[in-house]
C-alpha cells in the first residue's frame, strides 16, 4: 500500500483492522500464524519460510538470545563437569 498523505490515527487503525480480518479469515494465512519460541517473547508472526520451520519472530533478536542462552548452558555444564 502507498500513502498519498500522512494518515490520521483512525485511518491507521482501520488499515490494521482490515489486515487482521484478512489474516484471520484466510485459512492458509491463519495456518501459518505462529507464536515466537523465545522464552520472554509473546509475539506472533506469519511463518512464510520455505519449510515452515521458523521458530522465532526475529532470528537477529529472539533467535540470537536463544543461541546465547544455549551456549551459556553448555559452557556452565562443561565448567561444572571439570
State pLDDT tens for residues 13-69. 998 999 999 999 999 999 999 999 888 899 999 999 988 899 999 888 998 998 998
pLDDT recorded at residue 4: 82
Alpha-carbon distance of 12 to 66, in angstroms, equals 34
Spacing of C-alpha 55 from chain mean position: 8
Q: What is the pTM (predicted TM-score) of this model?
A: 0.65
Spacing of C-alpha 56 from chain mean position: 5
Residue 74: pLDDT over 80: yes
Give kind and range of the element (H or E) at residue 6: none
pLDDT recorded at residue 80: 83
| Helices assigned H by DSSP within 1-82 | 9-25, 27-31, 64-81
Residue with C-alpha cell 562443561?
78
pLDDT recorded at residue 40: 87
Amino acid at each position: 500500500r502507498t500513502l498519498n498523505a500522512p494518515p490520521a490515527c483512525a485511518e491507521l487503525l482501520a488499515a490494521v483492522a482490515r489486515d487482521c480480518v484478512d489474516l484471520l479469515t484466510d485459512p492458509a494465512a491463519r495456518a501459518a500464524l505462529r507464536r515466537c519460541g523465545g522464552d520472554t517473547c509473546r509475539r506472533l508472526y506469519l511463518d512464510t519460510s520455505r519449510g515452515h520451520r521458523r521458530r522465532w519472530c526475529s532470528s537477529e533478536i529472539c533467535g540470537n538470545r536463544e543461541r546465547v542462552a544455549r551456549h551459556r548452558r553448555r559452557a556452565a555444564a562443561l565448567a561444572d563437569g571439570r
